[in-house]
Amino acid sequence: MFRKKTIIPLALIILLTCIGTLLTSIRTTWVSTQHQMLSTPIKKAHVVGQILEIEKTTKGYRYLVKVHPSSQFQEEKVPLKNIRVSSQLRTNNLHIGDQVTFDATLLPISGALAPQGYNFRRQAFFQGLSATGFVWGKMRVTQPNEGLPLSINALRHTIQKRLDEHIFDKQIASIATALITSERSGINDETNQIFNRSGLAHILSISGLHFSILAGLVFLFCRRSLTLIPFLAYRYDLKKIGAIVVMASAITYALIAGMNVPVMRSLIMIMMVMVAILFDREPFTLRLVSFAATVILMFTPEAVITASFQMSFAAVIALVSYYEHEKEKVNIIPNNVWWRYIITPTKAVIITTTLATIATAPFTILHFGRITLYAVIANALAIPLTAMVIMPAVLMFFLLFPFNLDYLAAFFLEKGITWLIEIARFVSNIPYSIWICPPLYPWAENLFLTTFIAGGLCWAIGKNRVRQIGSTLALLSFGLTIFAKPYDIICQKEPFVLAYSSGKQATFIGATSQFLINQWSKALGLDEKHINVVPLCQNNHAQIRSSGSSKGASPCLYFSDQKPLRIGEIKVSQQPDGILVQTLEQEHLINDECPKIALSRDGKRLKKTCLPHSTFSW
């Protein structure tokens, strides 16, 4: 009996692993036959295509264009499928579905920007994105959209335009757009940073929180309103009618939100909960979670290595498991006291936030290199606000949108988001609000994940002693974070950027992208507040000097083969065959074969890691 109980689960695990490997191979092969990714820049391309998406950014507009075979390139013809191009024009007279022609510079999609960083080229490959770039001049419409094949994207764009019209503050309008259409490109770096530091970034991404609140509001509204109709109340089960309405509402919200991984997972789970209500079954079980994960991985197996999949399912498994065990316990709070209505929801918010923070902590450390320490405080304030003000305003917006009365909902949405930003700003300004964790050694990273997942699953599906052993194992796995290896120097050739860390502070030379600074600061194991950015002068041929003689002018740096750039223990000089980085013990050449290097302290020597243009080649 013991051998049977052991062999069957092991055989099932091996079988599922083989099926997953097969599905991954099939998915990769199929995607590779659909498009080819650009490998070298194209300085001038005459593109003919159809607009699939329009996004408003802080600097203009960004377009997703399906490339037509008649497009012309200076180089040999490349079979591109979809490209994402940016335009700095502030006006936009284009519509989704328009056939357009324009001139653009196309660039290959980069791989990981930092050592052990996220590989953007891999993500773009599975999304069918072949290249990025920017538009020269204006896009010319050759044939306007007259049909409805892209009506969902057109509706998303219309919602974005309406919010921009009704809400004066563009950042609040961008957050409102993110909560309705999941489009976050208009949110600037400062706003993203305060939400990340406060632990409220999950509120900006549509997930199970938003779907559950919206479903609860619709379900409650249907049941309460239908009780006013005696004909229906006495003849039909209003709970099941409400479940059907919730299913239709959830599908509509998911289509508008773009059907990404968190949205798909939330939709599947809401649908299964409502189906359980229709058939009078228990709706909240781990079987429901496993079914949602299976459906997603069957069609998009690459999602298993993404932060959104890992964090969303880790949080849901922890919450469902906890409340499955808690429902068997007796409620010690009397039902006839008024303070029960304060204690119960407050306790639920604190427990939910704490469990979700612990369950997602390893993935937060590995993907983002930090943990928010005051997330419980922030969520205890922000989640009730989201549930009672922001999401009801989103539901009101959907209901009033067809009648052009959505400006009424936009007023309440603006107020709620304003309070949400103030909460995020207050918590992010508390000293020591985040804990920075540099990248771990590969063996420590793998052991950390394996130990935590094994312990977490024992806690989730086990009972009594197994549950205790699992929780202990999961918590002890955090001790492996002591095996971190922050990088000391990161340097790339084109465009030249150098990052040097002294342990508590870091200097970035030539960095113009805030996103690159965020990625590299994670590899250096430092907070962005401890980063000093110094620009390179345009002619780049000398040492440190001021770029202007006026008072308050920002300094810039020069370097060449004659006068190298010196910072700390390193010296950087320009050579005919690349850029030479010299330390006290070693020297490293950055050239086309190794366009980016990262140096980390290994005893007394600096260990070199070479990053090619793309760390994941397709």
pLDDT tens digits, 603-615: 556 677 776 654 3
Which tokens sit at 375?
């997330």
CA distance 230 to 323: 36
Average the pLDDT over 564-575 and give the result: 75
The candidate with the shortest Cα–Cα distance to 100, out of 124, 64, 59, is 64
Higher pLDDT, 535 or 146: 535
| pLDDT tens digit sequence for 586-604 | 777 777 777 777 777 665 5
pLDDT in tens, 145-176: 765 445 777 788 888 889 989 998 889 999 99
Question: 196-212, pLDDT tens digit by residue?
Answer: 888 898 899 888 889 98
| ∠ CA 100-105-109, rounded to 5° | 105
Interhelix angle 307-326/442-461, nearest 10 degrees: 30
Between the alpha carbon of residue 137 and those of residues 87, 141, 386, the distances in Å are 8, 13, 42
Q: Which of 385, 486, 481 is nearest to 427 (CA)?
A: 385
Longest dimension (CA), the chain: 91
Structure tokens at 199: 């632990």
Place of tokens 């037509």: 68
- Residue 85 CA to residue 65 CA, distance in Å, equals 8
Beta strand pairing call for 531-534 and 506-509: parallel
Read off the pTM. Answer: 0.79
